[in-house]
Amino acid sequence: MASVNSVSDGKSYAASEVLLAAAQTGSIQGVKAALKDGADIDFEITGTALLNAVTRGDLDMMKLLLRKGASVNKRMNEVDEFTPLHLAAHQGKTEVVELLVYHGATLDVLDSLDNTPLMAAAYNNHVDTVRRLIELGARPDLTDGYVAVRLGIDDLKRQDYTCRESIQLIQKARNSKLLRCCNPKCGKPGYRKDLKLCAGCKMTRYCSRDCQRQHWSVGHKKCCGHDERPIVVLRERSLTL
């Protein structure tokens, strides 16, 4: 559904539609022109401009939109409530994942079925993406979601053979008992008791106050407190996009 209320007048609404069309076709100049004409950068119909850039794996478009203030935590729809990071992980776009995380995207954000981006990557056995998410600080122990149960992360008898390599990476990381600093420029491993939670969102962890300050300045301040799990009636359904 289009966010009509966020657009002040007919001209800016039209500019916002142009913004989406430009993002869908990869037109950098079109996006710049639409923003100059007053487009809402987070305007959405079936997804925002950033979501369209993520879908296409268009790093240059993403960099422009993020530089102009696009939200990295705006959820995609009212049913599954995916974030751009969920989508990038699900599609195995490792460079896109890195870019979103470096701009403050929360690694362990949950969708409406309690799936993390890490589990979204494992679902299609995107091994490189799974490995990189763990390196960036994704928690391997959040296994209550639909996908983790479906893959058999906690049940050796039910494990999905086609995703074995991803499952093994997650289990190895979990067995180490180590988590990582969520500042993507650090990623230092440490035990849970030694890493400090962000007091605001209680979802990100840091090895030092300096790492927390740095992560805050590059984008976490835009996401902190805005990544709460959506409250919906959970039901069994597949992770499809």
In CATH, what number is assigned to the domain containing residue 39?
A: 1.25.40.20
CA distance 86 to 228: 14
Tokens of residue 207, six digits: 């090895």
Tokens of residue 126, six digits: 């995107």
Question: Both 43 and 90 in a single domain?
Answer: no
Question: Both 63 and 90 in a single domain?
Answer: no
Q: Is residue 230 predicted with pLDDT exceeding 80?
A: no
Virtual CA dihedral for 231, 236, 238, 241, nearest 10 degrees?
Answer: -30
Question: Both 108 and 199 in a single domain?
Answer: yes
- Distance separating the N- and C-terminal Cα atoms of the chain: 17
Question: Both 167 and 88 in a single domain?
Answer: yes
Q: What is the mean pLDDT of residues 106-135?
A: 95
Final residue in a domain of this structure, among 46, 70, 94:
70
Question: Both 86 and 59 in a single domain?
Answer: no
pLDDT of residue 79: 55
* DSSP helix, strand, coil percent of the chain (3-state; round to 5): 50, 5, 45
Q: Is residue 138 predicted with pLDDT exceeding 70?
A: yes
Final residue in a domain of this structure, among 51, 70, 89:
70
Virtual CA dihedral for 176, 111, 201, 222, nearest 10 degrees?
Answer: 120
Question: Both 141 and 38 in a single domain?
Answer: no
Task: Classify 147 in phi/psi space as left (phi over 0), alpha (psi -120 to 50) or beta.
Answer: alpha
Rounded (5°) CA angle 211-101-219: 60
CA distance 46 to 161: 34
pLDDT of residue 5: 46
Question: Both 144 and 213 in a single domain?
Answer: yes
* Domain total of the chain: 2
pLDDT of residue 173: 94
Q: Is residue 164 predicted with pLDDT exceeding 70?
A: yes
Question: Both 36 and 109 in a single domain?
Answer: no
Q: Is residue 96 predicted with pLDDT exceeding 50?
A: yes
Domain of residue 148: give its range.
76-241
Question: Both 56 and 103 in a single domain?
Answer: no
Question: Both 4 and 92 in a single domain?
Answer: no
Question: Both 116 and 208 in a single domain?
Answer: yes
Percent over 90 (pLDDT), the chain = 64
CA distance 198 to 140: 19
pLDDT, mean over the chain: 87
pLDDT of residue 233: 39
DSSP state at residue 49: H
pLDDT of residue 155: 77
Final residue in a domain of this structure, among 38, 70, 102:
70
Question: Both 44 and 92 in a single domain?
Answer: no
CA distance 234 to 212: 33
Q: Is residue 1 predicted with pLDDT exceeding 70?
A: no
Q: pLDDT, tens digit, for every residue of 183-199?
A: 999 989 999 899 999 99
Tokens of residue 183, six digits: 């500042």
